[in-house]
A and B are shown apart, each in its own frame.
Chain A
Amino acid sequence: MRWTLWIVLGLFPLIDGHPTLKTDQNSLETADAALNHQNGSLNSVLHLDDTEKAALETTRNDPAFPMKELNTSHYPATRAAKVAQHYLNYHHGSPFKWFMVHAVKKASSEDIPEVGKKYHIQFSVQEQATKEIVGNCTAEILFRHTEVQSAPEVNCTCDDLLKIKTSDADHALYHHIKHQPEPMTGMDIPDSHGNIPKEMEPFWYLGGIGASFIMWQQSNESTLYNMAHVHSVKQLNSENDLLAFEYVVLLHDMVSQEIIHWHMQVAWNPTQGVKVTQCHLLPKGTLKQPSAEKHKI
Chain B
Amino acid sequence: MYSRDQVLRIAAKDVEQITLLKDLEELEHLELDFWKGPTHPDFPTDVHVPFASLQAVKVFLESNNIQYSIMIEDLQSMVEEEKIQISRSRSTEQMRNTNSFDYASYHTLDEIYSWMDMLVSEQSNLVSKIHIGSTFENHPIYVLKFSTGGTKRPAIWIDTGIHSREWVTQASGIWMAKKLATDYGKDAIITSILNEMDIFIEIVTNPDGFYFTHTQNRMWRKTRSTNSGSSCVGVDPNRNWDVGFGGAGASSNPCSETYRGSHANSESEVKSIVDFVKSHGNFKAFISIHSYSQMLLYPYGYTKTPVADQQELHNLAKKATDALSTLYGTSYRYGNIIDTIYQSSGCTIDWTYNQGIKYSYTFELRDTGRYGFILPANQIIPTAQETWLAVKTIMEHTYNNPY
Chain B contacts with A in 364-381, Cβ cutoff 8 A: 368-379
A-B contact count (CB 8 A): 116
Q: Which residues of B contact A197 (CB under 8 A)?
A: 1
Provide the A202-236 mask, 1 if CB < 8 A to any CB of B, else 0. 00000000000000000000000011110000000
Bound CA span A193–B167, Å: 9
Q: Are B369 and A100 in contact (CB under 8 A)?
A: yes
Q: Are B84 and A294 in contact (CB under 8 A)?
A: yes
* CB < 8 Å neighbour of A194 from B80, B256, B340, B371: B371
A128 at the interface (CB under 8 A from B): yes
Question: Size of chain B's interface in residues, with CB distance under 8 A?
Answer: 47
Q: Are A182 and B84 in contact (CB under 8 A)?
A: no
Q: Which residues of B contact A255 (CB under 8 A)?
A: 342
Q: Which residues of B contact A64 (CB under 8 A)?
A: none
Bound CA span A259–B374, Å: 13
Q: Are B257 and A291 in contact (CB under 8 A)?
A: no
Report B148 CB to chain A, min CB distance, Å.
35
Bound CA span A100–B221, Å: 24
Q: Are A289 and B216 in contact (CB under 8 A)?
A: yes
Q: Are B215 and A128 in contact (CB under 8 A)?
A: no
* CB < 8 Å neighbour of B333 from A73, A226, A252, A293: A73
Chain B binding surface SS class: loop
Report A263 CB to chain B, min CB distance, Å.
17
| A128-B370, A293-B84 known; A194+B375 contact, CB < 8 A | yes
Q: Which residues of B contact A100 (CB under 8 A)?
A: 368-370
Q: Which of B66-74, B102-110, B267-275 contacts A (4 or more CB under 8 A)?
A: B102-110
* CB < 8 Å neighbour of B376 from A73, A101, A195, A229: A195
Q: Are A290 and B217 in contact (CB under 8 A)?
A: yes
Provide the B154-183 mask, 1 if CB < 8 A to any CB of A, else 0. 000000000000010000000000000000
* CB < 8 Å neighbour of B216 from A98, A196, A291: A291
Q: Which residues of B contact A190 (CB under 8 A)?
A: 371, 374, 376
Q: Are B256 and A250 in contact (CB under 8 A)?
A: no
Provide the A172-187 mask, 1 if CB < 8 A to any CB of B, else 0. 0000000001100100
Q: Which residues of B contact A227 (CB under 8 A)?
A: 369, 372
Q: Are B109 and A297 in contact (CB under 8 A)?
A: yes
A26 at the interface (CB under 8 A from B): no
* CB < 8 Å neighbour of A297 from B211, B236, B372: B211
* CB < 8 Å neighbour of A192 from B333, B335, B342, B374: B374
Q: Are B293 and A297 in contact (CB under 8 A)?
A: no
Provide the B101-129 mask, 1 if CB < 8 A to any CB of A, else 0. 00001101110000000000000000000
Q: Which residues of A contact B80 (CB under 8 A)?
A: 294
Residues on B lying within 8 angstroms of A by beta carbon are 1, 3, 51-52, 80, 84, 105-106, 108-110, 167, 211, 213-221, 236, 256-258, 293, 331, 333-335, 339-342, 368-379
Residues on A lying within 8 angstroms of B by beta carbon are 71, 73-75, 78, 82, 98, 100-101, 103, 128, 181-182, 185, 190-197, 199, 226-229, 250, 252, 254-259, 289-297
